[in-house]
Structure 1
Amino acid sequence: MNLENKIVIVTGSGSGIGAATAKLFSAHEAITIVADINLDNAKKTVSEIVKQGGTATASKVDVTQYDEVEKLIRSTVQTHGKLDVMVNNAGIGGKQQLKTADHTHEDWHNVIAVNQTGVFYCMKTALQQMSKQGHGSIVNVASLAGLKASGNNLSYSASKFAVVGMTKSAALEYARKNIRINAVCPGFTHSALLNQLLASAPNMDEKLKRFIPMGRFGEADEIAEAICWLASENSKFITGQTITLDGGTSL
């Protein structure tokens, strides 16, 4: 993958899929801005990248705050002169797994704010810059829950279906401007969100794996590979697409 000297922002990259993605971009000699609401976690990711000989900086951002997103992208462009790739990975799950009638207002508003509105803010601001410079690639991290029904998970599912829709709509709008927008849709993948789900009921690990033909959960590094490929010139005729990485679950 040709990513050398690309200027890349990865949100939610203090841990999990985001951290794995930031590290992989850096391994391919991109210059990576590790953005996370938890600055200590972001700095930890940067430290690991630098130890491996990569180039990265940490930035604190709350994607639910438009002014913070604007500041992140503005400072990136002021420092590096451009923004080649925006990876919108920051996301959360609801605190409780409940049916729709019992779904809490708190979970609805918090999850939608991060997973849907946060992606909109990042796309909006990144696209303004990419339109000015005449190129760019955006990769949104959606979910298998954004492609098929996910019970007891309304706000998360709604937000990820929205991410898929926003990806396709924006890709249609900006294809002639040399800007590509795609999404990845991971299935059950080792992460803080999966750990939260596994802790929600006894034997949840075994129950979930029954639905995965490959019989295992995904790894963050495997999702990162797809993200970096979509962001690279290796996929330059691909836009508006979702790549499902789920070990066959959707089958």
Structure 2
Amino acid sequence: MSFSIAGKTAIITGAANGVGLAIARHFANKGANVMLADIDEERLSQECDNADEDSQIRYYAGDLREKLTMANLLSATLDAFDRVDILVNGSRQMLPSDPLDCSDDTVMQLLNQNLMTAYRMSQLVARRMIKQAEKQDGDDGQLGAIVNLSSIAARRTHPDLLGYSVSCAALDQMTRSMAVALAPERIRVNAVAFGSVMSASLKDSLKTHKTYRSDIEDHTPLGRIAAPRELAEAVQFLSCDGAGFVTGQIITVDGGRTLLDPVAAPAH
């Protein structure tokens, strides 16, 4: 059983910073061909400029809420690497939304960013994976893997995260539905639902909110905040051939947070 992703080609969206960038770096370090995608061209360019000479890293900048951007991203990936084996839908957004005072625009913005972008990218890439199968006659292995980045907010009741929670819950159900739909094509679809990860944005929040760290750690059985590498390794597992019989699963990486699940505890 192989957990290697060396030589595979991965598209990773939301890769200019945070968790998406950590996954992109991890995949590159493990020998994958990586296409970074985000709207922040400056950050993407810097990342590629700073990459090791041996790394097979490219980037495509654009608004992934636009269908043309998605099509161009796939074309750029095929031009660079000739195929795509893995899609990591990491383009996501979190905005506060009070259930009693939340505009429709906020909820729709989060659904479009966190759900529909992943849905459309998955459709597009899955069609390409199926087309690639024409060159793999007689191969009964997997054709590809899609991993969605979700959140434990999908299962928690946090009063200030209505729109975000709903979009993540919808993403989880989309993951299950697409897993069943694409199973006959030998494409696996899974998600990683995570809690607090020590990203740059969380570090900034910890500086601003002095009790934030202790609140998170007190509500986490493992008593700490995850390193980005730990999330990246979970995504690698779901992407590799060693997880060839795993599909439609929402893998929780939260240090046990959802085992306790107090209503008002911070989710990130």
Alignment partner, residue 119 of structure 1: 118
Normalised by the size of structure 2, how large is the TM-score?
0.86
Taking the aligned partners of 1:199 and 1:12, their CA distance within structure 2 comes to 24
Q: Decide whether aligned partners of structure 1 residues 146 and 192 sit closer, same or farther in structure 2, where only a CA change above 3 A counts.
A: farther
Task: Compare 199-208 and 61-70 and name the one that shifted more.
Answer: 199-208
* Matches for 1:38-187 after TM superposition, within 5 Å: 38-50=40-52, 53-94=54-95, 97-134=96-133, 135-187=143-195
| Alpha-carbon separation, structure 2, partners of 1:145 and 1:49 | 33
Change (3 A) 1:167 1:200: farther
Equivalent pair of 2:33/2:81 in contact (CA under 8 Å): no
The answer to whether the 8 A contact 1:181-1:239 is kept is: yes
Contact kept in structure 1, 2:38 and 2:44, CA below 8 Å? yes
Which residue is equivalent to 2:219?
211
Q: Which region of structure 1 is more displaced relative to structure 2, 169-178 or 37-46?
A: 37-46
SS in 2 for 1:213: coil
One-letter amino acid of the structure 1 residue matched with residue 17 of structure 2: S
Residue in structure 1 matched with residue 19 of structure 2 by the alignment: 17
Query: What letter corresponds to residue 242 of structure 1 in structure 2?
Result: I
1:2 equivalent in structure 2: 4
Alpha-carbon distance in structure 2 between the residues aligned to 1:196 and 1:100? 26
Amino acid at match of 2:128: Q
Structure 2: runs of 5 or more not aligned: 134-142, 260-268
Task: Note the C-alpha offset of 1:25.
Answer: 1.0
Q: Which amino acid aligns with 1:40?
A: E
User: Structure 1: where are the runs of 5+ without partners?
Assistant: none
Which structure has the larger Rg? 2
Q: Distance in 2 between matches of 1:150 and 1:37?
A: 29
Alignment deviations for residues 127-161 of structure 1 (CA, whole Å, 9 cap, x no partner): 11112123111010011112332331011111111
Task: State the Cα deviation string for residues 170-207 of structure 1 (Å, max 9, x = none).
Answer: 00011121111110011111225535765785523322
Percent identity, please. Answer: 27
Of 109-118 and 16-25, more deviation after overlay is shown by 109-118
Judged with a 3 Å threshold, the aligned counterparts in structure 2 of structure 1 residues 159 and 197 are, in CA distance, closer, same or farther, namely farther
Q: Residues 130 and 87 (structure 1 numbering): CA distance in 2 closer, same or farther, change over 3 Å? A: same
Confirm whether residue 223 of structure 1 aligns to residue 231 of structure 2.
yes
Superposed CA offset, 1:221-247 (max 9, x none): 110001011101111111111110101
Q: CA RMSD in A?
A: 1.9
Answer yes or no: is the 8 Å Cα contact 1:6–1:84 preserved in 2.
Answer: yes
- Give secondary structure in 2 for the equivalent of 1:50: coil
- Equivalent residue pairs, number: 248
Q: For residues 240 and 33 of structure 1, what CA distance do their matches in structure 2 show? A: 24
Asked whether the 8 Å contact 1:218–1:246 carries over to 2, the reply is yes
The 3 A distance-change label for structure 1 pair 39 and 70 is same
Distance (Å, rounded) in 1 between the aligned partners of 2:84 and 2:179:
17
Distance 1:202 1:78 in 2: 48
Does the 8 Å contact 1:92/1:193 carry over to 2? no
Q: Can you list the C-alpha shifts for 1:104-148, whole angstroms capped at 9, x where unaligned?
A: 344323222211111111111111111212311101001111233
Q: Distance in 2 between matches of 1:49 and 1:145?
A: 33
Q: Kindly indicate whether the alpha-carbon contact (under 8 Å) linking 2:86 and 2:239 is maintained by their aligned counterparts in 1.
A: yes
